Chain A
């Protein structure tokens, strides 16, 4: 195994996060079985106190997951020189079959932790904590994913040996050669841009509609999820090209480098913010009619709509501005 400091750091953090989640799930099971808000028994009081701990743990996990995601990409970048053919983090991820699944799981876990925190936020605004059992069931479901991510990440790093030939991002992301990633890059730019902007506009429209009328929240949440996917595809297919000013460099990871002034960080953070907040609106929809939440949930959701649209807006402005003002012209050959 490669004993790079960042790899050690990722191991440490993933193991700690998994342990914290397992600990929380244990109490989650107790809560799902024994929780009764109306009871004044000592056990109930003890459980209520325990929920503070778990909420604190999850908040920390959410923050650490985001950093872990960025650190993972950074580590892949530090290591890419060790593998022939790898020109950027994408190449490192391809060294063995665990690289990309780990990345996807990290993204998923981050979004899921965000969803849980939004659910928790709404739950604690209501005077009878109506969502407690649902919340902890969700936590128990989430835990295996976190543990799986730790495991896959471990297999990935343990399986890395320098000098292994991999396909580099040039051939990985260039149109024509098979495999999932190359299909993403070969989305033709004009239809791709139309699709991206259309979906984003629909998202904004649906958000505005929900803000004013309070209906079709699930549609908005779904559109946010879709926007997330189209945004990533668009970054790989064409937006990244405007940053690199190279027609064949479809890598979404290099904009996180110092060479591009770390522009990837605010870009992706804005995108993640928009996605988490937007999907949070959706996750609260089933609970709108619970009596203790009836007043609170709509205003909470409206707040998240604003946050979601702000996040997406920042993202759109950044990529559009880069596209318009870059010297690089994509269409025209």
Chain B
């Protein structure tokens, strides 16, 4: 699905505070699996996640997309995979918006607007008709048992509800890949378990899931298909279940 070759990300290149966040990473993300990138904070997993999710461009290296993701590319693809490394921001964002759904550590919902609007936001630039969009958003919220909270402000939600809204938002554009960055950092054990259960459901429906975490509840969960270790910007050992 997503292949990274020789990826590097350097900040402040050439200056005394030069910092190599990611170095020499080769990684293939496979379809329909839950992959966890395990590593302590400062290991570069957030930066790597951004690069995998087409949110940031690497300083060097190449990224290839294949499978379902080729459908969101701005150009026709003859071969099985296409390189997207040097696409300008505009096209990268289009790919990201249509192909990827992000779940953030702090949920990052926008205060002051309703739950429904929050879920619809990622689809605004697509120019979809407002009514069909809100119908779809409501459908998603219903699937997560949040129908009653459709018009609530996000400030009034409980932790578990906010979590589910964040997941619903990630799914509004029907992405091929769901990416979560330290999703359980602010959750208790019960909610963390619920989160992983939802990820399993998504995987079973055909989504590809990538999670970055240093939480054992995540990387030791039985539903995880593959764990990749990361340290000091480099990929290390790998473990697969299956």
Is there direct touching of A and B in the complex, by C-beta distance under 8 Å? yes
A interface residues (Cβ-Cβ under 8 A, vs B)? 37-42, 45, 48-49, 124, 127-129, 292, 295
Report the separation of the CA atoms of residues A129 and B91 in the bound assembly, to the nearest whole angstrom: 11
The answer to whether B59 and A40 touch across the interface, beta carbons within 8 angstroms, is yes
Q: List 14 A-B contacts (CB under 8 A).
A: A37-B88, A39-B86, A40-B58, A40-B85, A41-B59, A48-B88, A49-B89, A127-B74, A127-B88, A127-B91, A128-B88, A129-B88, A292-B75, A295-B76
Closest partner residue, chain B, to A37 (CB atom): B86
Most chain B CB within a 10 A radius of its CB, from A41, A45, A48, A127: A127
Task: Give B residues with C-beta under 8 Å from A.
Answer: 11-13, 57-60, 74-76, 85-91
**Whole-angstrom distance between the alpha carbons of A38 and B61 in the complex?**
11
Chain A residues near B59 (CB-CB < 8 A): 40-42
Interchain CA distance A108-B188 in the complex, whole Å: 67
CB pair A124 B90 closer than 8 Å: yes
Contact residues in A for B87 (Cβ distance below 8 Å): 127-128
Cβ-closest chain B residue relative to A39: B86
B75 & A40 in contact (Cβ 8 Å cutoff): no
Also in contact, A128 and B86, with CB within 8 A (given A40-B57, A40-B58, A292-B75): yes
Q: In the complex the two chains form, what is the Cα distance from A195 to B28 in whole Å?
A: 68
Q: Return B129 CB to nearest CB of chain A, in Å.
A: 22
A38/B86 in contact, CB under 8 A: yes
**Chain B residues positioned under 8 Å from A128 (CB to CB):** 86-88
**Which A residues touch B60, using CB under 8 A?**
40
Q: Would you give the shortest CB distance from A36 to chain B, in whole angstroms?
A: 9
B123–chain A nearest beta-carbon distance, Å: 22
* Chain A to chain B: the 8 pairs with minimum beta-carbon distance, closest first: A38-B86, A40-B57, A40-B59, A127-B91, A127-B74, A40-B58, A129-B88, A127-B75
- Measured CB to CB, the closest approach of chain A to B24, in angstroms, equals 15
Bound-state CA distance A292–B91 (Å) is 13
Contact partners of B85 in chain A: CB under 8 A: 38, 40
**Could you tell me the distance between the alpha carbons of A6 and B59 in the complex, rounded to whole angstroms?**
52
Cα distance, A128 to B76, chains bound together (Å): 14
Which of B76, B86, B88 has the most chain A CB atoms closer than 10 A to its own CB?
B88
With A40-B58, A40-B59, A40-B60: A48-B89 Cβ-Cβ less than 8 Å: yes
Set of chain B residues within 8 Å of A48, measured between Cβ atoms: 88-89
Please pick, from B76, B86, B91, the residue contacting A40 in the complex, using a CB distance under 8 A: B86
Residues of the B chain whose Cβ atoms lie less than 8 Å from the Cβ of A295: 76
When distances are taken between beta carbons in the complex, the residues of chain A under 8 Å from B74 are 127
- Cβ of B101 to closest chain A Cβ, rounded Å: 23
**CA gap between A42 and B13 in the complex, in Å:** 8
User: Contact check: which of B13, B90, B91 meets A41 at CB < 8 Å?
Assistant: B13
Residue of A nearest to B87 (CB): A127
Chain A residues near B11: list those with CB within 8 A: 42
Residue of B at shortest CB range from A292? Answer: B75
A109 CA to B13 CA, complexed, in Å = 41
The minimal Cβ–Cβ distance linking A132 to chain B, given in whole angstroms, is 9
Which B residues are in CB contact (< 8 Å) with A45?
57
A125 shortest CB reach to chain B, Å: 9
Closest residue of A by beta carbon distance from B75: A127
Measured between beta carbons, the chain A residues less than 8 angstroms from B86 are 37-40, 128
CA distance A129 to B90 in the complex (A): 10
CB neighbours (8 Å) of A49 from chain B are 89
Q: How far is the CA of A217 from the CA of B94 in the complex (A)?
A: 31
User: A38 CA to B85 CA in the complex, in Å?
Assistant: 8
Q: Which residues of B are found within 8 Å of A124, using beta-carbon distances? A: 88, 90
- Tell me the minimal C-beta distance from A293 to chain B in angstroms: 11
When C-beta atoms are compared, the residue in chain B nearest to A51 turns out to be B88
Give bound CA distance, A127 to B89, whole Å.
10
- When distances are taken between beta carbons in the complex, the residues of chain A under 8 Å from B76 are 295
A50 to B74, CA, bound (A): 23
Interchain nearest-CB distance for B90 vs A (Å): 6
Contacts of A37 in B (CB 8 A): 86, 88
Instruction: List 19 other contacts, CB 8 Å, given A40-B85, A45-B57.
Output: A37-B88, A38-B86, A39-B86, A40-B58, A40-B60, A40-B86, A41-B59, A42-B11, A42-B13, A42-B59, A124-B88, A124-B90, A127-B75, A127-B87, A127-B88, A127-B91, A128-B87, A129-B88, A292-B75
**B88 contacts which chain A residues (CB < 8 A)?**
37, 48, 124, 127-129
Distance from B205 Cβ to chain A, minimum over Cβ atoms (Å): 31
| B-chain residues with CB within 8 Å of residue A41 when the two chains form the complex | 13, 59
Inter-chain contacts of A127 with B (CB < 8 A)? 74-75, 87-88, 91
Residues of A within 8 A of B58 (CB): 40
Q: Considering residues A42, A292, A295, which has the most beta carbons from chain B within 10 angstroms of its beta carbon?
A: A42
A6 to chain B: closest CB distance in Å?
40
**B118: shortest Cβ distance to chain A, in Å?**
26
Q: How far is the CA of A45 from the CA of B55 in the complex (A)?
A: 13
In the bound complex, what is the Cα–Cα distance between A162 and B86 (angstroms)?
61
Closest to A52 in B: B89
Shortest distance between the CB of B23 and any CB in chain A (Å): 14
CA distance A48 to B76 in the complex (A): 24
Q: Which residues of B contact A292 (CB under 8 A)?
A: 75
User: Whole-angstrom distance from the CB of A52 to the nearest CB of chain B?
Assistant: 9
Question: Which residue of chain A is the closest to B61 with respect to CB atoms?
Answer: A40
Contacts of B13 in A (CB 8 A): 41-42
Distance between Cα atoms of A41 and B57 in the complex (Å): 9
